[in-house]
């Protein structure tokens, strides 16, 4: 990372020195691309979880990432959100923000929300409190000691409750929600943070068909205002929401395109179905 | 053993929400303390309503332990940080107070030296070490007795939480911390009286420490500090800060991905907790009349954890109830069978962990809400889950 910084961060003539720029700032999407992932390699003791991966996500698009287990989908999310350090490569949020220099909470405050594979909500808090904690506001120790909800914030929480369809459960403890409701609540928590980019890891795992359908509607309605990246195994689901699909294989991009093109892509067929006569 | 530990640290174990037992407990405590004080000072000794000074001092000691238990509950019950070293902050606070009381002895010591405490004269020291200066001023001594444990907690917490040390490893580190301090304070060269510690105190703020009035005063003050600490802690835990802390306990990475710098929250809470423990130590020392390095011993800190577990984690007043009950039991038990106490304590801990995962307070709260019939079903489902997770781990 330091090598990377020296070569590209400090000497790039098109960019102000990064340490002169404020750390938290608006994402610059003037080139219509919100996420640049270039040459990212993650090495876990010799095993390359990501191998020279290049990926560009456009502002406002809904992108599906698919791939077999171990293809590097979750590792990629870890790198974007600052959980895992990458050995090589660069990750830029918009034109200017180098995500590799930021910690997880900073990245979250920059406007990248992440939903985990397993629904992760705060079970002892009510649905309402879960959303309150996720609001985009100051997150410092002193501020939260005396923080009160403003009228706008309450309205916004109501709006989010409405979007995720949990108005009736607002004062219920989140631990008492069903699996699907927890997944929606977690998506709601991301929305409450007003992110630019949503990373959603397997949203429909373990859902009933009806719940899956609702989730698909929810995600498609979010695209446009937000950029949504969905990792999913369920092909039916991907087909129902995807406009562009990226296939990962062994840590790099194997194919990219519309669902139809992907399904007819010989490389993808070979990886997924093995050698066919 | 480690599985047992995991059961303790794992999140399924908590899951109690704040109810308002704190107000009730504070009220009862206040009334009891007033009654005891009046019975000691105004009722003649022959009366059956007379409360002896011995009892007053004993209760005062329990109240200090209750405050210590509260400080552990704040970090353990709400943030899942199982500290096995809170005795260190307690003892450091106690030493601060002890240093003040030592200086108050003045020339009434055995050797009659107006500046040096007896043990320094005995060791042939000729002048006061630099860290003893100013400790003859009450306000300065108290400030130091609170500041030093707070600073230690800040430095320790900063290093530990920033490196993301959690769970059993953190517990072991806190235990090492208090053990190291114990070894250090055992040394005579440290200038804190070595093995014997600080004792033979005469007076505090020119009030005789042996007199009834001073003892009742200290008892009353302990209760007051405990009540204030309870109410303040409840206020903190009911603020958004408290909700963030609980969130960190139940899903630290989720909290991080929501934009909370969890280390800062943990450090802040740890320092607050250490300050409470230090206050407990400050109030404890004048009542028992001695502070020595054995207060640092890890077993003391572990006992505090048992009090909290018995009373009920994450309820604040449960910790106080647990401390009072277990210490009362200890006083009674050690009178009958002195060697058996540690076995009884261990059995109590295992029993409570298995059969009362939410402690005594949690058990009664559950019964009460069951009788009222207005209980939220959600919480009940949690209890069931708790039990399952515990038995699974035990097997």
Quick one: what percent of chain B has pLDDT higher than 70? 89
Number of neighbours of residue B294 by Cβ within 10 angstroms: 16
Is residue A232 pLDDT above 80, yes or no? yes
Contact assignment for A108 to B256 by CB distance below 8 Å: yes
Contact assignment for A108 to B381 by CB distance below 8 Å: no
Assigned domain for B207 exists: yes
Mean predicted confidence (pLDDT) in A152-174: 93
Assigned domain for B54 exists: yes
Number of neighbours of residue B35 by Cβ within 10 angstroms: 12
Put simply, whether A103 touches B (Cβ < 8 Å) is yes
pLDDT at A90: 92
Assigned domain for B7 exists: no
pLDDT at A273: 65
* Band (A155; pLDDT cuts 50, 70, 90): very high
pLDDT at A24: 60
The mean of the pLDDT values for chain B is 88
The total number of structural domains that make up chain A:
1
Q: Tokens 């390359």 correspond to what residue? A: A48
Listed in sequence order, the DSSP H helices in chain B are 2-9, 21-41, 53-79, 86-105, 118-122, 138-162, 167-186, 212-238, 240-250, 252-257, 262-288, 298-311, 317-336, 341-355, 359-372, 377-394
From A125, A140, A141, residue closest to B247, measured CB to CB: A125
pLDDT at B106: 87
pLDDT at B89: 98
- The whole domain housing B179 covers 16-392
Contact assignment for A123 to B15 by CB distance below 8 Å: yes
The total number of structural domains that make up chain B:
1
Mean predicted confidence (pLDDT) in A142-155: 93
pLDDT at B320: 96
Asked if B70 and B305 count as a contact pair (C-beta separation under 8 A), the reply is no
Measured in angstroms, the CA of B19 and the nearest CA of chain A are apart by: 13
Q: Is residue A107 left, alpha or beta, with left meaning phi > 0 and alpha meaning psi from -120 to 50?
A: alpha
Is residue B376 pLDDT above 50, yes or no? no
Mean predicted confidence (pLDDT) in B57-61: 95
- The whole domain housing A47 covers 5-273
pLDDT at B15: 40
Give the lowest-confidence range in A233-237, A260-264, B20-24. A233-237
Measured in angstroms, the CA of A186 and the nearest CA of chain B are apart by: 10
CATH number of the domain within which A92 lies:
3.40.50.300
Assigned domain for B8 exists: no
Interface-testing mutation among B235, B240, B376, with chain A (most A C-beta atoms within 10 A): B240
From A141, A144, A173, residue closest to B376, measured CB to CB: A173
* A40-73 pLDDT tens trace: 999 988 888 999 999 999 998 999 998 888 888 8
Mean predicted confidence (pLDDT) in B85-89: 96
ipTM of the complex: 0.87
Asked if B24 and B18 count as a contact pair (C-beta separation under 8 A), the reply is no
pLDDT at A12: 66
Asked if A233 and A201 count as a contact pair (C-beta separation under 8 A), the reply is no
Measured in angstroms, the CA of A107 and the nearest CA of chain B are apart by: 7
pLDDT at A18: 66
| Chain A partners within 8 Å of B262 (Cβ) | 105
**Distance between CA B37 and CA B29 in Å, rounded?**
12
* A84-125 pLDDT tens trace: 998 999 999 988 888 998 899 999 999 999 998 888 999 999
């Amino acid at each position: 990372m330091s090598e990377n910084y020296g070569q590209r961060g400090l000497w790039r003539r098109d960019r102000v020195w990064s340490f002169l720029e404020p750390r938290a700032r608006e994402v610059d999407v003037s080139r219509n691309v919100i996420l640049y992932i270039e040459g990212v390699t993650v090495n876990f003791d010799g095993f390359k979880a990501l191998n020279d991966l290049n990926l560009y996500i456009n502002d406002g698009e809904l992108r599906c990432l698919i791939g077999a287990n171990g293809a590097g989908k979750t590792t990629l999310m870890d790198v974007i959100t600052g959980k895992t350090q990458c050995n090589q490569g660069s990750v830029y949020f918009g034109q200017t923000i180098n995500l590799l220099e930021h910690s997880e909470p900073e990245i979250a405050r920059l406007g990248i929300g992440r939903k985990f594979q397993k629904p992760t909500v705060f079970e002892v808090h009510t649905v309402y409190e879960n959303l309150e904690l996720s609001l985009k506001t100051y997150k410092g120790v002193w501020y939260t000691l005396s923080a009160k909800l403003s009228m706008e914030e309450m309205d916004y929480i109501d709006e989010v409750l409405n979007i995720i369809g949990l108005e009736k459960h607002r004062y219920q403890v989140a631990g008492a929600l069903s699996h699907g409701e927890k997944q929606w609540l977690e998506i709601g928590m991301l929305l409450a943070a007003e992110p630019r980019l949503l990373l959603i890891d397997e949203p429909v795992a373990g859902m009933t068909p009806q719940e899956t359908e609702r989730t698909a509607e929810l995600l498609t309605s979010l695209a446009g205002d937000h950029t949504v990246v969905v990792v999913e195994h369920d092909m039916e689901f991907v087909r129902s929401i995807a406009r562009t699909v990226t296939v990962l294989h062994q840590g790099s991009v194997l194919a990219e395109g519309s669902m139809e093109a992907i399904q007819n892509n010989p490389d993808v067929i070979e990886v997924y179905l093995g050698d066919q006569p | 053993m480690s599985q047992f530990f995991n059961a303790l640290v794992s999140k399924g174990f908590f899951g109690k929400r704040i109810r308002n037992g704190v107000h009730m407990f504070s009220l009862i405590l206040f009334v009891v303390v007033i009654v005891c004080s009046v019975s000691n000072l105004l009722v003649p000794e022959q009366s059956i309503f007379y409360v002896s000074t011995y009892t007053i001092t004993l209760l005062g000691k329990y109240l200090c332990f209750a405050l210590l238990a509260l400080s552990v509950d704040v970090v353990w019950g709400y943030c899942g940080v199982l500290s096995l070293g809170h005795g260190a902050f307690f003892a450091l606070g106690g030493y601060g107070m002890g240093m003040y009381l030592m200086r108050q002895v003045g020339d009434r010591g055995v050797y009659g030296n107006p500046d040096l405490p007896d043990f320094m004269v005995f060791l042939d020291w000729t002048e006061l070490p630099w860290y003893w200066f100013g400790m003859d001023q009450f306000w300065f001594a108290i400030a130091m007795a609170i500041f030093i444990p707070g600073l230690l907690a800040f430095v320790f917490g900063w290093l530990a939480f920033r490196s993301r040390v959690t769970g059993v490893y953190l517990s072991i580190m806190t235990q090492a911390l208090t053990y190291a301090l114990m070894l250090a304070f055992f040394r005579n060269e440290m200038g804190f009286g070595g093995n014997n510690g600080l004792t033979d105190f005469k007076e505090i703020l020119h009030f005789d420490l042996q007199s009834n009035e001073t003892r009742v005063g200290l008892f009353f003050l302990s209760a007051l500090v405990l009540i204030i600490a309870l109410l303040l802690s409840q206020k903190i835990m009911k603020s958004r800060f408290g909700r963030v802390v609980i969130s960190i306990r139940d899903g630290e990475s989720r909290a991080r991905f929501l934009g909370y710098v969890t280390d800062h929250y943990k450090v802040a809470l740890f320092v607050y907790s250490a300050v409470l423990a230090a206050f407990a130590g400050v109030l404890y020392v004048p009542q028992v009349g001695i502070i020595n390095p054995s207060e640092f011993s890890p077993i003391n800190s572990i006992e505090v954890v048992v009090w909290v577990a018995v009373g009920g984690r994450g309820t604040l007043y449960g910790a106080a109830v647990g401390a009072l009950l277990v210490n009362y039991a200890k006083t009674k038990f050690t009178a009958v069978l002195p060697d058996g106490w540690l076995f009884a304590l261990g059995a109590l801990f295992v029993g409570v962990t298995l059969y009362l995962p939410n402690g005594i307070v949690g058990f009664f709260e559950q019964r009460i809400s069951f009788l009222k019939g207005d209980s939220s079903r959600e919480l009940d489902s949690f209890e069931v889950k708790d039990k399952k997770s515990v038995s699974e781990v035990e097997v």
